[in-house]
Amino acid sequence: ATSAWLPHGVSEIETVGIPTVSSVRVAPPRIAAAAVAFECEVAEIKPYPAENPNCHLIFARVLLAHVDDAVLADERHVDSARLDLVGRLGGSHYSHTRDTFSMIRPR
């Protein structure tokens, strides 16, 4: 895991030595070990909150998705349990996504 405080313009991937592979549709490489990776182009960047921005919302178009067959439940769906995801909550706080549940969505 990384998330280090590095100076602007310093590559975390290069600093830590994370293996990458070339992307197909975009210039930056992708993480070689990622079970799922998206190649995207930026559609819009919006300062947030608008009245006193201290971060940005980035909207992107997915151009290509790379999905390892080992995480597929079937031909169209990823089995999230096979991903064993970790999410960054903020600061030094993280969470696992092992405890999932389903809800009926309104039509």
pLDDT at 5: 84
Q: 73, 81 in Cβ contact below 8 A?
A: no
pLDDT along the chain (107 residues), means of 10: 83 93 97 97 95 93 98 92 87 86 90
What is the pLDDT, as a whole number, of residue 48? 93
- 3-state secondary structure at position 12: helix
**Residue 63 contacts residue 49 (beta carbons within 8 Å):** no
Which pLDDT does position 4 carry in this prediction?
81
pLDDT in tens, 38-53: 999 999 999 999 898 8
> What is the distance between the alpha carbons of residues 13 and 29, in angstroms, rounded to a whole number?
10
